[in-house]
Amino acid sequence: MRVLIAEDNDSSRDMLVALMVKWGYQVVSTTDGKMALDALRKPRGPKLAVLDWTMPGMDGIEVCRRIRKTDTVDPPYIIILSARDRKEDIVTGLDAGANDYITRPFDSDELRARMEAGRRAVEFQAALVKGARRQAKQAAVSQKEQGSVSEQSVGKLGKEDVPAPSSETATRIFEQIVVVFKRGEIDLPSHPHISTRFNELVNNGANLHEIGYLLRQDVAISSKLIAVSNSAYYRGVTENRTLEHAVGRLGFTTTKQYVDAICNRGLYMTKNSRFSKYMEQLWEHSLACAYASQAVEKALRLQLPDDVFTLGLMHDIGKLLLLQAVGELQKRNKLAKDVDKADVFNTIEAHHGRFGAALLKKWSFSDTFVQVAIHHDHLENAGSVSKEVLIVNLANLVVKSIGYSPGGASEIDLEGSESARVLKMEPKGIAEVKDHTEQMMEEMKGHLS
């Protein structure tokens, strides 16, 4: 990766360049702010920069301010380097739009680690932009092939698409659900507006400030994002107080994941007291599966085009939809209020894949999401399964084995599972996935509740 070094002091610049080269970066070096600004504004300019605060002509802070005003989809990650170490100086640097701030004299290990964090943020951002463009292209093609989105309806699902339920009552519940869907009597949940807008903005090349403007419209989202960015896992040198800093620290990809998670959280709130505990557990299960999916991808050193965090988050969305349908039926007195919970859960377990897939199609999610929703529980039903399906299948088993599941912890032979075998997942990798999921759930649950 290319990195820009802007530093007017010769010996200091030479030392920085030598360190960067040693760490594997290709260096573009400049001696003043104006040259740095020009280099960063070039269409294929460096996406990672270390700017000295004090430089002749234009200082590093001004370079930062001007860069942040530039309308671009992939703004550079900027680290300000300065001897000024008062809290107000650091705040000034971050307020100008720097992603990070390092005071001199610095420790080279610390600089290397901060550069590494910057490199990851830049790579995440590039992957997000690439993925979003691909998704937009795919959505356009699939809309053309399948007609308008409004024609795809959950109500079109028929009994022939799904296996038979296990008991007579479960069959009746299922038939009633199908009838109300077919008649369009169920208010389908809509995909959270902010989550949709966030993706649209990124697809259209929005910058950090436009994204900040959107997210700030929802106080709950903004404050939760700031809290997440200050959590032990993401914490930086100073406490983030603004949304832009939070997004800057998390990067676009992680921000998008948390926006999805925060928006989805609301869908799992129910006034139906009989099922509220199940819904809470389902939410925890979904969030844990998101973290576990991400950890499986990491353990296998894969970088898939679709975001596996959100794939994990949405895999059981059909359960939510079916439970809402049960609630509606009860409200209309079409289903006994004291219907056996076991029958309801059996129905949901048997049919959530297809219903989830139909809902995700309606929300214009890519085919990968649809496939994950259909096949995540039953690999044997999938002709040839994608890596994404295998990852979510394994993540789903892992989180069930550690107890993030409405059914509580289950004994599962993870190493012997089909997905672990096909993915060639070693026991060590599985243990890492468990640890990461438990750690993230411990740290984040509170911020996302």
Q: Is 3 helix (H, G, I), strand (E, B) or coil?
A: strand
* DSSP E strands, 23-97: 26-30, 48-52, 77-82
Q: Is 330 helix (H, G, I), strand (E, B) or coil?
A: helix
The smaller minimum CB distance to Fe ion, of residues 93 and 165, is found at 165
Q: For the CB of residue 285, give the shortest distance to Fe ion in the complex, in Å.
A: 6
Q: Which stretch binds Fe ion (CB under 5 A): 19-27, 373-381, 384-392, 441-449?
A: 373-381
* DSSP bridge partners of 319: none
The smaller minimum CB distance to Fe ion, of residues 307 and 316, is found at 316
Retrieve residue 247's tokens: 């997004």
Contact status, residue 64 vs residue 80, Cβ threshold 8 Å: yes
**Residue where the block lists tokens 């090349």:** 205
Please, what's the largest Cα pairwise distance for the chain? Answer: 82
∠133-258-66 over CA atoms, to 5°?
A: 65
Q: Is 16 helix (H, G, I), strand (E, B) or coil?
A: helix
Q: Which stretch binds Fe ion (CB under 5 A): 144-152, 184-192, 382-390, 391-399?
A: 391-399
Retrieve residue 425's tokens: 């997942």
Q: For the CB of residue 164, give the shortest distance to Fe ion in the complex, in Å.
A: 18
The answer to the question of residue 349 lying near Fe ion (CB under 5 A) is no
Q: Which stretch binds Fe ion (CB under 5 A): 112-120, 150-158, 270-278, 308-316?
A: 308-316
| Alpha carbon distance 431, 426 (integer Å) | 9
The answer to the question of residue 195 lying near Fe ion (CB under 5 A) is no
The answer to the question of residue 95 lying near Fe ion (CB under 5 A) is no
CA 176: distance to chain centroid? Answer: 35
The answer to the question of residue 330 lying near Fe ion (CB under 5 A) is no
Q: Figure out which of the listed residues 59, 260, 307, 316 binds Fe ion, where binding follows CB under 5 A.
A: 316
Count residues binding Fe ion (CB under 5 A). Answer: 3
Which residue type is seen at 411?
A: E
For the chain, what is the radius of gyration of the CA atoms?
A: 24
Q: Figure out which of the listed residues 264, 270, 293, 396 binds Fe ion, where binding follows CB under 5 A.
A: 396
The smaller minimum CB distance to Fe ion, of residues 206 and 308, is found at 308
The answer to the question of residue 7 lying near Fe ion (CB under 5 A) is no
The smaller minimum CB distance to Fe ion, of residues 244 and 316, is found at 316
Retrieve residue 191's tokens: 């995909």
Q: For the CB of residue 166, give the shortest distance to Fe ion in the complex, in Å.
A: 16
Q: Which stretch binds Fe ion (CB under 5 A): 85-93, 218-226, 314-322, 412-420?
A: 314-322
The answer to the question of residue 59 lying near Fe ion (CB under 5 A) is no
Interface positions with Fe ion (CB under 5 A): 316, 377, 396
